[in-house]
Amino acid sequence: MIRGNLKLLTLKALAKKPLSGYALMKYIEDKIGTKPSPGSMYPLLEELTKDSFVVCKKDGRKKIYSLTKEGKEHIKIIDIHKDILIKKTAEAVRMWSALTGEDIKPFEETITALKKGTYSIEDIPPEVQEFKIELARIFSKGLFQKNKKKVKELMKKTVKELKKIK
């Protein structure tokens, strides 16, 4: 997942403030739970510099990267694509409901909050992604039926604890 999105993650990070290559890797790790390798990050920064999306300034031994005017314009394009993606996600959720009859109110509320900007995907901790990956692993390897009781117990306990947060 990170490979295809590293450019976008880097530009969004630099939109917040100028950062060194190492600080960018740490920022991305904090956001998504996976740290890009220097072998991915530094060639990307060179490419972004060559494309005039970022500029690099020396600060002692560090190189500090910041967005240029072109980089800021590119961020606006990314935001337009984000809006299109949110719209398509909303359509897919409504289609899912029509096909399955499932209640989609929680999904609709999340999508509405995303549209309004009151909630951001960046607010989701990396543990949520890890949780989804582990659930997918359990189901894809056919482990759910054998561990159904334990999985349900863990999920019920987790949901109960989350509901206590006010």
Amino acid present at 34: T
Same domain, 54 and 19: yes
Same domain, 130 and 88: no
HEC string of the chain? Answer: CHHHHHHHHHHHHHHHCCEEHHHHHHHHHHHHCCCCCHHHHHHHHHHHHHCCCEEEEEECCEEEEEECHHHHHHHHHHHHHHHHHHHHHHHHHHHHHHHHCCCCHHHHHHHHHHHHCCCCHHHCCHHHHHHHHHHHHHHHCCCHHHHHHHHHHHHHHHHHHHHCCC
Burial (Cβ within 10 Å: 0-12, 13-18, ≥19) of residue 50: exposed
For residue 66, what are the β-bridge partners? Answer: 55
The pLDDT value given to residue 139: 85
The pLDDT value given to residue 22: 96
Same domain, 43 and 9: yes
The pLDDT value given to residue 69: 94
- Domain boundary (21, 37, 67) is at 67
Same domain, 63 and 78: no
- 104 is in which domain, residue-wise? 73-123
The pLDDT value given to residue 121: 64
The pLDDT value given to residue 1: 43
Taking only the tens of pLDDT, the chain with its 166 residues reads 455 678 888 998 999 999 999 999 999 988 888 899 999 999 999 999 999 999 999 999 999 999 999 999 988 887 777 778 788 888 888 888 888 888 888 888 888 887 777 766 666 677 776 787 788 888 888 998 999 999 889 988 988 998 899 8
Same domain, 142 and 164: yes
Same domain, 139 and 98: no
